[in-house]
């Protein structure tokens, strides 16, 4: 049982690593082929990775794919998207089918080590939560003893669920599916009392249900889910580009640089901001990263600063209306913090 849960938490099959050895140098590969192959959510997770009716990809994770393409090519459209399920995402990265994974994926020690990936930037600090039908009258997860709980395999969710119920000495019946669509259908059909996944996912899934107002997300957060992009380990140049694409968005917010004031800010006398925007003649930050001098400007032009991307995709400007919470800047009581770009 324990073993099953562990492999589920790791996300299924671990491939041989021979395949990845020849793949060092993703930045050069990406430049040569002319686009970034980005692994994103395969279940239209609104706010994070979803396709609109015209086929355009949007979301906080999608913005990271676009930011990387903007940094490398000065063109955020140079991305090809690979929609991935929980189970398929890790083999897709290991095998080289994708260059980066930006898909509500939790950074854990076992994924970082055993699966052979590198994580550093966290583009959404999350935690696992529970959703129930309002009519069952439950206000706290601690009232869920004996409940049937719908959960998706290949996620961190399954092991957290087992740990939480065990630690609180509560009984539960896991109703387990491989595909999110199956979990959604089972929950909608009343085959389980509770839906558990990342709280961000619950907000998004709730909106896709027939009557969103009939469901509530309970207050408890039972785990830490730092969600961020992953790349294959041992490829530091590419790892730096992907990580600093996120950090450039955060830095822009720290400096108050927005899509609207970007051109104005380029004329600033502030040396730190000037350097960041590639306006200081001697600075080699872009070149050192293997990128053009105006890489950060291109990112801001394409997707805005982190706060703009957050509000547009999951915050006030979106149907999800998620508060900044842990994802506020460190200077505003949150955890989003960028190392100095200098």
In the complex, which residues of this chain contact ligand GSH (CB under 6 A)? 41-43, 45, 85-86, 104-106, 152, 155-157, 180, 197-198, 201, 225, 227
Across the chain, which distance is largest between two alpha carbons, in Å? 66
**What is the SS3 assignment for 258?**
coil
Q: What angle is formed at CA 291 by the lines to CA 285 and CA 297, rounded to 5 degrees?
A: 75
Of 39 and 201, CB closest to ligand GSH: 201
Of 94 and 152, CB closest to ligand GSH: 152
Tokens of 145: 């003893």
User: What residue number has its CB nearest to ligand GSH?
Assistant: 201
Q: How far is CA 206 from the centre of its chain?
A: 18
Q: Of the candidates 92, 24, 102, 30, which has an alpha carbon nearest to the alpha carbon of residue 63?
A: 102
- Nearest distance in Å: CB 281, ligand GSH: 43
- Cβ atoms 214, 91 nearer than 8 A: no
Of 233 and 259, CB closest to ligand GSH: 233
- Nearest distance in Å: CB 204, ligand GSH: 7
Instruction: Report the chain's C-alpha Rg in angstroms.
Output: 20
Q: How far is CA 43 from the centre of its chain?
A: 14
DSSP bridge pairs for 117: 232
Of 157 and 336, CB closest to ligand GSH: 157
- Nearest distance in Å: CB 106, ligand GSH: 4
Of 72 and 84, CB closest to ligand GSH: 84
Of 156 and 283, CB closest to ligand GSH: 156
Q: Of the candidates 127, 159, 135, which has an alpha carbon nearest to the alpha carbon of residue 11?
A: 159
How many Å apart are CA 172 and CA 169, to the nearest integer? 10
- Nearest distance in Å: CB 126, ligand GSH: 7
How many Å apart are CA 177 and CA 269, to the nearest integer? 56
DSSP label at residue 136: G
Q: With the CA atoms of 328, 330, 58 and 80 taken in that order, what torsion angle do they form, in degrees rounded to the nearest 10?
A: -170
- Nearest distance in Å: CB 124, ligand GSH: 9
How many Å apart are CA 143 and CA 80, to the nearest integer? 45
Of 10 and 297, CB closest to ligand GSH: 10
Q: Which residue has the tokens 């063109």?
A: 75
Of 50 and 257, CB closest to ligand GSH: 50
């Amino acid at each position: 049982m324990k073993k099953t849960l562990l492999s589920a938490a790791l996300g299924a099959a671990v491939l041989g690593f021979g395949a990845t050895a020849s793949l060092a140098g993703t930045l050069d590969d990406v430049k040569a082929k002319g686009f970034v192959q980005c692994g994103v959510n395969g279940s239209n997770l609104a706010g994070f990775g979803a396709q609109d009716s015209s086929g355009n990809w949007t979301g906080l994770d999608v913005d990271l794919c676009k930011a990387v393409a903007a940094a490398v090519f000065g063109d955020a459209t140079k991305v090809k998207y690979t929609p991935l399920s929980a189970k398929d995402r890790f083999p897709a990265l290991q095998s080289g089918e994708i260059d980066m994974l930006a898909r509500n994926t939790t950074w854990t020690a076992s994924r970082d080590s055993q699966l052979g990936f590198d994580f550093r930037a966290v583009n959404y600090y999350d935690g696992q939560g529970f959703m129930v039908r309002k009519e069952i009258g439950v206000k706290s997860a601690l009232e869920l003893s004996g409940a049937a709980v719908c959960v998706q395999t290949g996620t961190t969710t399954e092991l957290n669920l087992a740990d939480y119920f065990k630690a609180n000495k509560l009984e539960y019946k896991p109703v387990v599916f491989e595909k999110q669509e199956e979990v959604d259908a089972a929950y909608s059909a009343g085959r389980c009392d509770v839906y558990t996944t990342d709280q961000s996912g619950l907000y998004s899934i709730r909106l896709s249900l027939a009557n969103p107002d009939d469901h509530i997300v309970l207050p408890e957060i039972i785990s830490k889910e730092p969600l961020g992009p992953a790349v294959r380990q041992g490829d530091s140049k590419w790892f730096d580009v992907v990580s600093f694409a996120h950090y450039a968005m955060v830095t822009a917010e720290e400096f108050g640089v927005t899509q609207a004031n970007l051109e104005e800010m380029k004329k600033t006398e502030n040396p730190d901001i000037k350097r960041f925007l590639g306006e200081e003649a001697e600075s080699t930050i872009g070149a050192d990263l293997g990128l053009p001098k105006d890489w950060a400007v291109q990112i801001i032009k394409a997707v805005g600063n982190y706060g703009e991307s957050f509000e547009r995709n999951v915050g006030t400007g979106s149907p999800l209306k998620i508060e900044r919470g842990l994802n506020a800047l460190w200077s505003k009581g949150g955890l989003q913090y960028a190392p100095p770009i200098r």
